[in-house]
Amino acid sequence: MALAILTRLRDRSARSVPAPAPIPRGAGALDLSVQDPVGLPMAGAGISVRNAEGTEVTRGQTDPNGMFTATLAPAAYHVVVTCDGFRPERFDSMVAAGERTAPRTLELEPAPAPSLPAPGQWRLDPDHSSIRFTARHIGLAEIHGRFNHFEGGLWIAPDMRDSRVEVTIDAASIDSGVKMRDDHLRSAEFLDVARYPYLQFAGERFVHKGGSRWAVQGVLHLHGVSRSVQLDTRYLGIGTGIGGETRTACTAVTELHREDFTLDWRKMLARGIAAIGATIRIELDIQAVPAE
């Protein structure tokens, strides 16, 4: 009895593993497995496959099991594997018609962390920074815009985790490229810039997520309401500007739920017009220089 049960479990397990997808006629398959330094599968590693001329023919990511596969025309290819916080890996592979490449497992090594900004006060440089947003218009196409006027600063602590950042945005500087729409966004139905002229973000907790990834946690003041917000941030390092000045840079992204800030616009919704989607994506490209 026990042997029969084990046999059924084994057969069921074998049936649950999907067979490799068939290779299309005249093509071959590239198979790849990616692991971290302790041998665990790495999901989400980026894979770029280029032909002999250097043209990218396909791009993708490893699945939750760290696996990647692609069907390709028979030829020689150059493969680049990348993952934030790890050294890129490169190799050449030959794909033959009707065949899968020999199993290959790559183990990515951690990349050296970029140098952090020197402790002290840094000033955001609006001329080399941008604050953009993306929202859905009437539930269909996306609209893109930006805030043209803002200022702020960074206070870098000896322990980066104790640093803070403050940004003040001029609400009336909203710019979606359409004057009529921007006037409406500035009105009492939306941002109500006459009563709430500024958006302000104050972040006082920097959490290292590995590699160049940080989470900056703070409070956003918008439309008379304050809510906790997390900026998913990628630190880009230190560089030198054209005038010889030291610069530091990062990118960051977050999503806001408009109802959290009482931006529900009931009059429009009552008419069945979903003017703006429920979430608004905010993207920041920031450069900062040492404060004078």
**Tokens standing for 182?**
């921007």
Q: What are phi and psi of 219, to 5 degrees?
A: -125, 130
Instruction: Decide: 191 and 133 in contact? Cβ < 8 Å.
Output: no
In three-state secondary structure terms, 37 is: coil
Q: What whole-number distance in Å separates Cα of residue 133 and Cα of residue 282?
A: 5
pTM: 0.69
Which residues, 6 or more positions from 13, have their beta carbon under 8 angstroms from its beta carbon? none
Q: What value does the mean pLDDT of the chain take?
A: 85
Confidence (pLDDT) at 210: 76
Q: Strand 246-257 to strand 279-290: parallel, antiparallel, or no bridges (unpaired)?
A: antiparallel
DSSP string, 179-197: HHHHHHHHSTTTT-TTT--
User: pLDDT digits over 150-198, tens only?
Assistant: 999 999 999 999 999 999 999 999 998 989 889 988 988 788 899 999 9
**Tokens standing for 198?**
């500024």
Instruction: Decide: 205 and 196 in contact? Cβ < 8 Å.
Output: no
Q: Can you list the domains of the chain with their CATH numbers? A: 28-107 (2.60.40.10), 120-290 (2.40.128.110)
Q: What whole-number distance in Å separates Cα of residue 150 and Cα of residue 198?
A: 9
Q: Strand 28-35 to strand 67-72: parallel, antiparallel, or no bridges (unpaired)?
A: antiparallel
For residue 97, name the pLDDT band (cuts at 50, 70, 90): very high
**Does the pLDDT at position 85 exceed 90?**
no
Q: What are phi and psi of 127, to 5 degrees?
A: -70, -20
User: pLDDT digits over 30-76, tens only?
Assistant: 999 999 888 999 999 999 999 999 999 999 999 999 999 999 999 99
Q: CA of 287: how far to CAs of 147, 154, 210, 239, 284, in Å?
A: 16, 10, 21, 10, 10
Confidence (pLDDT) at 12: 46
Q: What whole-number distance in Å separates Cα of residue 77 and Cα of residue 58?
A: 11
